Amino acid sequence: MTRTVTAKKGRVRAAFQGERGAFSEEAARRFLGPGFEPLPQHEFDDMFDAVVRGDADCAVVPVENTLAGSVMKNYDLLVSHDLTIIGEVVLRVAHNLIAPLGVKLTDLRRVFSHPVALAQCEDYLRKLREQIPSLEVVPAYDTAGAVKMVVKNGRHDEAAIASKSAAEVFAAHILASGIESNPQNFTRFFVMARPDRVARIPVASKAKERKTSLVFRIANRPGSLYASLYAFAAEQVDLTKIESRPIVGRPWEYSFYLDFVGDRNDANVRRALAALAGAAESVRIFGSYPKAET
């Protein structure tokens, strides 16, 4: 039997992967404002499924990071779920070394976090190992989840890498802040909803510029990709991202994900999309939405 989650009156239910205090929750707050109801989910699949079932009104989906690249799992989930992109958020990612109250930096023997976060803090962790040669760096499923775990464990020698919000949520303290190797660390999120739920979601963003995201497939013949992309160049549509993914069951053939500046109803965009439809096997538009404020 399908479980239905009842929202608190007037509050938008936003699903995201990870525990409370995750960067995705920050992104949800940035887009929806403070009055939303957070619905943390363990896996990306759970987040999408919660929206499809109606347990959540929207999902906040990380799709790319300026250091780690694209989140390919979520590009595949975009195709397998009938959801609409209603907005995007670009969030500056600042990592912190977080431990239970009373734990000192010199006490540490283990540091936990998501593998991507660990990779983004390599320089700091290398220097920390010089001070603590026995330090063990351990992958976890989620940054905020790692904070929850070390606080629950209550050990004097464990810490986690996560957001400032995670330290606040789990009543932990920050041993070191801004420990990411590169300050130009940003993650881009899509905010996605069922087509029949879009109208009930208030958008805090006041951005006037619009973007559109889509996926298309082309036949494997010379010039087909050029013909597909030329449609946008001819109409002076600014492409901001292109990503290819293999088509399951069709070896060495690919789907292409495309983001561009403009709304699907703009005259030049309509002409470009019509030309793309003539050159491609299939085209699916995920949505036109306000461009993220940075």
pLDDT at 205: 62
Q: What is the mean pLDDT of the chain?
A: 92
Contacts of residues 122-130 at CB distance under 8 Å and 24 or more positions apart, as own/partner, are 122/181, 123/181, 124/97, 124/176, 124/179, 124/180, 124/181
Query: Tens of pLDDT along 31-65?
Result: 998 889 999 999 999 999 999 999 999 999 999 99
Active site residue 189: yes
Domain ranges of the chain: 13-93+185-195, 96-177, 210-290
Which stretch of DSSP H or E encloses residue 214? strand 210-217
Q: Give residue for tokens 């949800």.
A: 28
* Opening angle at CA 271, ends 201 and 195, nearest 5: 20
Q: Which of 23, 112, 189, 260 is catalytic?
A: 189
Measured in whole angstroms, the distance separating CA 44 from the mean position of its chain's CA atoms is 10
Round to whole Å and give the CA distance between 185 and 193: 26
Query: Hey, do 96-177 and 210-290 end up sharing a CATH topology, with the first three levels equal?
Result: no
Q: Rounded to two decimals, what is the model's pTM?
A: 0.89
Query: Tens of pLDDT along 174-185?
Result: 999 999 999 999
According to CATH, the superfamily of the domain at 210-290 is ACT domain (3.30.70.260)
- Write the Ramachandran bin of 252: left for phi over 0, alpha for psi from -120 to 50, otherwise beta: left
DSSP state for residue 5 in the 8-state scheme: P
Contacts of 259 (CB under 8 A, 6+ apart): 211, 212, 213, 239, 240, 241, 242
φ and ψ of 198, to 5 deg: -55, -45
Q: Report whether pLDDT(5) > 70.
A: no
Round to whole Å and give the CA distance between 261 and 119: 31
Q: Report whether pLDDT(222) > 90.
A: no
Query: Tens of pLDDT along 178-217?
Result: 999 999 999 999 999 999 988 888 766 667 899 999 999 9
Round to whole Å and give the CA distance between 36 and 38: 6
Q: Which of 84, 143, 187, 212 is catalytic?
A: 187
Query: Tens of pLDDT along 64-115?
Result: 999 888 999 999 999 999 999 999 999 999 999 999 999 999 999 999 999 9
Exposed, middle or buried: residue 135 (CB in 10 Å: 0-12, 13-18, 19+)?
Answer: middle
Hey, which CATH number is domain 13-93+185-195, 1.10.10.10, 3.40.190.10, 3.40.50.1220, 3.40.50.720?
Answer: 3.40.190.10
Query: Tens of pLDDT along 146-173?
Result: 999 999 999 999 999 999 999 999 999 9
pLDDT at 4: 39
φ and ψ of 221, to 5 deg: -140, 155
Would you state the CATH architecture of domain 96-177?
A: 3-Layer(aba) Sandwich (3.40)
Tokens of 187: 């993650």
